[in-house]
């Protein structure tokens, strides 16, 4: 069974204080790892897709990296508007998976001004 | 990339009643997914739908659930006899051919009393 564990569950930062969120996974053949941002009461908003170990993606203050067992979402000099829940999801390989996503519980990030 | 829209945004129903949640794609996508998120819990896969047929469903997706694309446009999730534990956010997601990324709608908040 595919599993995704995110840590920490919650993280409080001061504006400008850089940090990283962790996503560790167990999957039978990784097809892709995804990061989403979710604001309260809203749907997940796509951020990044990572396909293989060593891959990195960047977008503004966010940078996602991938190893064979985990992914990190690095947040550089965060701003209050970066406050949200960040979700990690994996897509397993194999012919019958139909690209379904298995999500972690998320990390609630709060950035104080 | 454009998302899908979902209606209604909120629905309150009595236990045992039938509800229909709708997902309206912006363009003619072939791959659709339904997920749910119980308050405070992780996003969970329900069902995937490709070319007007169910391609995969989870253990959650039992006989009280059904999906269809009645008019070739809207994509619906029907819950025949709602239970208290069906209270959750329900998200529709779409994927285009050749891409692994799923884009989520804003969700329908269902409350079963």
Tens digit of pLDDT for each residue in B93-110? Answer: 998 888 889 999 999 999
pLDDT of A48 higher than 60: yes
Q: Does B4 touch chain A (CB under 8 A)?
A: no
User: Hey, CA dihedral for B98, B101, B106, B109, is it positive or negative?
Assistant: positive
Closest CA to B78 of B5, B10, B23, B4: B23
Asked whether residue A101 carries a pLDDT value surpassing 70, the answer given is yes
For residues B4 and B77, give the distance between their C-alpha atoms in angstroms, rounded to a whole number.
Answer: 14
* Mean pLDDT of all residues in A78-82: 97
Minimal CA–CA distance to A87: which of A69, A68, A102? A102
Chain B residues within an 8 Å CB radius of A104 = 42
Cβ of B45 within 8 Å of Cβ of A100? The answer is yes
Res A71: pLDDT: 98
Predicted confidence at residue B103, as pLDDT, reads: 93
Measured distance CA(A22)–CA(B108) in Å, rounded: 29
State whether residue B107 sits within 8 Å of chain A by CB: yes
Averaged pLDDT for residues B23-50: 88
Q: Which two tokens stand for residue A49?
A: 């897709």
pLDDT(B2) > 60: no
On the 0-12 / 13-18 / 19+ scale of CB atoms within 10 A, B98 is exposed
What pLDDT score does A29 carry? 86
B22-27: long-range contacts, CB 8 A cutoff, minimum separation 24: B22/B74, B22/B75, B22/B76, B23/B74, B23/B75, B23/B76, B23/B77, B23/B92, B23/B94, B23/B105, B24/B73, B24/B74, B24/B75, B25/B73, B25/B75, B25/B94, B26/B2, B27/B2
The reply to whether B34 touches chain A by the CB within 8 Å rule is no
- pLDDT at res. B27: 67
* CA–CA gap between residue B84 and residue B15 (Å, rounded): 6
pLDDT at B1 over 60: no
Tokens 């253990």 sit at which residue? B59
Residue B85: per-residue pLDDT: 96
Establish if B51 touches chain A: CB-CB under 8 angstroms. Answer: no
Helix (H) or strand (E) holding A30: strand A30-38
Percent of chain A predicted with pLDDT > 70: 96
pLDDT tens-place string over residues B37-88: 999 999 999 999 887 789 999 999 999 999 988 777 788 999 999 999 999 9
């Amino acid at each position: 069974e595919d599993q995704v564990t995110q840590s920490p569950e919650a993280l409080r930062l001061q504006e400008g204080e850089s940090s990283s969120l962790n996503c560790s996974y167990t999957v039978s053949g990784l097809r892709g790892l995804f990061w989403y941002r979710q604001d309260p009461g809203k749907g997940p908003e796509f951020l990044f897709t990572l396909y293989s170990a060593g891959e990195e993606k960047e977008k503004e203050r966010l940078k996602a990296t991938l190893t064979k067992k985990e992914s990190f979402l690095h947040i550089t000099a965060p701003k209050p508007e970066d406050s949200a829940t960040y979700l990690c999801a994996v897509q397993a390989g194999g012919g019958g998976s139909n690209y379904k996503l298995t999500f972690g519980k998320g990390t609630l990030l709060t950035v104080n001004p | 990339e454009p998302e899908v829209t979902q209606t209604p945004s909120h629905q309150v129903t009595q236990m045992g009643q039938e509800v229909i949640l709708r997902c309206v794609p912006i363009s003619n996508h072939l791959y659709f997914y339904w997920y749910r998120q119980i308050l405070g819990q992780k996003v969970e896969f329900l069902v995937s739908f490709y070319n007007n047929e169910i391609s995969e469903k989870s253990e959650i997706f039992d006989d009280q659930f059904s999906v269809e694309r009645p008019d070739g446009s809207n994509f619906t999730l029907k819950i025949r006899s709602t239970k208290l534990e069906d209270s959750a956010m329900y998200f529709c997601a779409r994927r285009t051919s050749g891409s692994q990324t799923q884009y989520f709608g804003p969700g329908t908040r269902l409350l079963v009393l």
